Amino acid sequence: MTNEAPANIETRVVEDKDLPTILSIYAEQVLHGVSSWEETPPDLAEMTKRRDGIVDAGYPYRVAVRGDEVIGYSYASAYRPRPGYRFTVENSIYISQTARRSGCGKLLLADLIEVCTAQGYRQMIAVVGDSDNAMSIDFHLKMGFEHVGTIKAIGYKFDRWLDSVLMQLPLGDGSQTTPSDGT
């Protein structure tokens, strides 16, 4: 999937210097949003450990930058740990408050889809925090994802029950052909 980049926004592989800004973006969502169901933001050492785990496992971890400023990030990770899920990834995407509605999210997700497809993954799952999160659900629908289920009242944050919305996007041949991973 190729999309024209919004003015002055580019994507690239994450670097160590990006982690303090990534932590700030994530902490805002932990404290005020439902995209993450953590209640206390992790520290920089923990965010570095998480990033290293994703990258060391061979998954893409990308940032969107405007000039020298990181304004969003995305990564793919294992959907589930069992070997039968090895062709399926879960996406995560976080955008700074100042960059929302700039096209940054679309660029990051299109980039992540392209990288994951090139790596041979066949399905991408979005796990959207709460069925009231219309912005994220609509965004994923516009990016080609299909709503495949809702798990009701599975989480609790901000003194209310939250649903988990599952959305799915086939990558490449999806389930139309047998994947190859050398096994």
Q: How far apart are CA 167 and CA 45, in angstroms?
A: 31
Other C-beta atoms closer than 10 Å to the C-beta of 118 total 11
Q: How far apart are CA 60 and CA 139, in angstroms?
A: 21
What is the residue-wise DSSP string for 7-65? TTEEEEE--GGGHHHHHHHHHHHHHH-SS---SS---HHHHHHHHHHHHHTT--EEEEE
Residue 102: φ, ψ to 5°: -100, -5
Amino acid, single-letter form, for residue 5: A
pTM: 0.92
**Residue positions counted in the chain:** 183
pLDDT tens series, the chain, 183 aa: 444 556 689 999 999 999 999 999 999 999 999 999 999 999 999 999 999 999 999 999 999 999 999 999 999 999 999 999 999 999 999 999 888 877 899 999 999 999 999 999 999 999 999 999 999 999 999 999 999 999 999 999 999 999 999 999 999 999 999 998 654
What was the pLDDT predicted at 43? 98
What was the pLDDT predicted at 2? 42
Instruction: Give Cβ neighbours of residue 33 (< 8 Å, ≥ 6 apart).
Output: 129
What was the pLDDT predicted at 98? 85
What was the pLDDT predicted at 100? 81
Alpha helices in 74-171 (DSSP H): 104-118, 134-142
What was the pLDDT predicted at 183? 46
Q: How far apart are CA 138 and CA 118, in angstroms?
A: 25
Q: For 9-170, CATH number?
A: 3.40.630.30
What was the pLDDT predicted at 99? 80
Instruction: Give Cβ neighbours of residue 129 (< 8 Å, ≥ 6 apart).
Output: 33, 34, 35, 36, 37, 136, 155, 162, 164, 165
